[in-house]
Chains A and B, each alone.
Chain A
Amino acid sequence: MTTLTYIEASGSRTDVDVPDGWSLMQAAIANGIEGILGECGGSCACATCHCYVDDLLMAALPAPSASELDMLDNVSAERRPNSRLACQIKASPALAGGSLTLPETQE
């Protein structure tokens, strides 16, 4: 388990214990976090699990794959340098204490 903080667009913060190996999209949905849709089920095909990761996650995460970068071109909220798709981030102890902020819209 790795604890991460989800910050919804409303500002509401939720600490979530994410089982290692789960994607941050799956954990958000399992814990009732609003603002992540994950319509394609985590196949990197729909760009509805867009999130902004904090500096800790930016440093700890491997760079996005080419296909994630391409899908990020298609997010509906503003794309920023720290934009990622939550379905492509797998929980691991290296991410402990990180936080991700969800955009106003996913579609």
Chain B
Amino acid sequence: MSSQPAAAPQDPGAHIVIIGAGQAGLMAAEALRSGGSSAAITLLGDEPHAPYHRPPLSKAWLAGEVDAAQLLMRAPEMLARKHITLRTGAAVQAIDRAAQCVRLADGSALPYTGLVLATGATPRRLPLPGAEAANVLTLRSRDDAAAIAAGLARCQAEGLPLVVIGGGFIGLEVAATARKKGVAVTVLEAAPRLLGRVLSPQLSDWYAALHRSHGVALELGAAIERLVVQDGQARAVQLADGRELPCGLVVLGVGVQPNDALAREAGLAVDRGIVVDACGRTSDPLIVAAGDCAARRLPDGRLLRLESVQNASEQGKSAAAALLGQDRPFTATPWFWSDQYDRKLQMAGLSEGADQAVLRGSLEDGPFSVFQYRAGRLVAVDSVNAAKDHLTARKLLDAGVSPTPEQAADLGFNLAGLLAG
């Protein structure tokens, strides 16, 4: 690393355009430069903000513990030093592959010799009657989080509860932050358990108990009839059984949809995400994609779309390498984390299809991990306040080493020892 300015772009004809100034887009821009690209690089963001960290939005930022400046991913002069041109508030309307340019909402066109799609995802909204009310919010951007923070402040001032619809990570993190602020919270989850597609039943139950112990009213298997709206504001959530839960704010945390419309309209292969190979290449050799918007084709033909910092960051670097003509496949074990109250959940691997779960440590006191197996092979490890287990799990899964369930359950057994040699 050096503080010397990068050499100014040498190749006047080459211009790489990156659509999306989030984690994946920024990582791609920097990896292009550090990988030796001499092209002009333009990073287009449709938000008014320079690239910022999204993970704290539901946690420290919402809690008021950090300010906007602390969210910034890079100082503006750092991008300038790398000759990366950042354009904020720049929404793209279309990709014209024949003319090799992107058309911006302001009517201008930007020619490209290489294009990175890092367009992210958009929170889903529910087709519930009343869901269009002004205080029914989703969380993706800094501005979304600011609106939720203002809504929580109103809840505090007026003694009104927050209702979270959807017991996924975003919803539960917002719930935990709201409880910290003393706001009454109800979480409504349609499924019979929290985080059911990710966690083992045991860990789902543990999270349900954690939230209830912090005063969250949790309704599993909840069926919502409608939102009761007065003067444009949702005043209550009405359940199918007729009960009405009063609310000052509703937060929807019911998943996201990948922003793949630009790619689809441009004729690229799209299947619930922009289809890419392990190196981030799309069906057009000049165009790569990375992050939440990209669905990676696996060797067995299935598509995998992940929403995580690691995925955005690593795919961004792979996509940059692909534009430089290099293969940098991203195939590492996926990892994720979620902070709720004073518990840090760190997940390694993908638990889909898991048929056996083994506990290492104690659910009652202190750190523990749940090792999930499919047909006898380790596929995922979920660790709570147990970073060492998490890091070991990533290495085990990367290496394809599967401890026996008995070894995983035995705190006296050194799992890292399986990696030696």
Contact = CB atoms under 8 A, between A and B. Distances in A.
Given A41-B55, A70-B388, A73-B391, A10 B3 contact: yes
Contact of A34 (B2, B23, B337, B344): B2
Contact of A74 (B60, B313, B391): B391
A34 B2 CA distance: 7
A34 B54 contact: no
B69 A34 contact: no
Contacts of B59: 43
A39 B309 contact: yes
B313 A26 contact: no
Contacts of A34: 1-3, 78
A30 B69 contact: yes
Contacts of B73: 29, 38, 41
Interface in B47-90: 53-56, 59-60, 66, 69-75, 77-78, 81
A67 B385 CA distance: 7
Contact of B81 (A32, A46, A66): A32
A8 B385 CA distance: 32
B339 interface: yes
Interface in B369-400: 385-388, 390-391
A31 B69 CA distance: 11
Nearest to A106: B1
Interface size bracket, B side: 35 or more
A89 to B, nearest CB: 14
A32 B54 CA distance: 20
B6 to A, nearest CB: 11
Contacts of A35: 1
B135 interface: no
B337 A40 contact: yes
Interface in B155-181: none
A23 to B, nearest CB: 8
A42 B67 CA distance: 13
Nearest to B77: A32
Contacts of A44: 344, 387
A14 B54 CA distance: 28
A41 B71 contact: yes
Interface in A12-55: 12, 14, 22-23, 26, 29-35, 38-46
Nearest to A9: B1
Contacts of B70: 22-23, 26, 30, 42
B contact patch SS: mixed
A104 interface: yes
B282 interface: no
Given A9-B1, A34-B1, A70 B387 contact: yes
Contacts, number: 92
Contact of B55 (A29, A43, A66): A43
A40 to B, nearest CB: 6
Interface in A60-74: 66-67, 70-71, 73-74
B333 interface: no
Nearest to A6: B3
A18 to B, nearest CB: 11
Contacts of A71: 387, 391
A34 B222 CA distance: 49
A42 B54 CA distance: 11
Interface in B1-37: 1-4, 23
Interface string A67-107: 10011011000000000000000000000000000101100
Contact of B56 (A42, A73, A102): A42
A101 B1 CA distance: 12
B346 interface: yes
Contacts of B1: 8-10, 34-35, 102, 104-105
Contacts of B71: 41
Contact of B313 (A22, A39, A105): A39
Contacts of B385: 66-67
Given A41-B56, A43-B55, A8 B2 contact: yes
Contact of B54 (A12, A29, A38, A41): A41
A97 B40 CA distance: 40
Interface of A: 8-10, 12, 14, 22-23, 26, 29-35, 38-46, 66-67, 70-71, 73-74, 102, 104-105
25 contacts: A8-B2, A10-B4, A14-B3, A26-B66, A26-B69, A29-B74, A29-B75, A29-B78, A30-B72, A32-B74, A32-B77, A33-B3, A41-B55, A41-B73, A42-B60, A43-B59, A43-B344, A67-B387, A70-B386, A70-B387, A71-B391, A73-B391, A102-B1, A104-B1, A105-B1
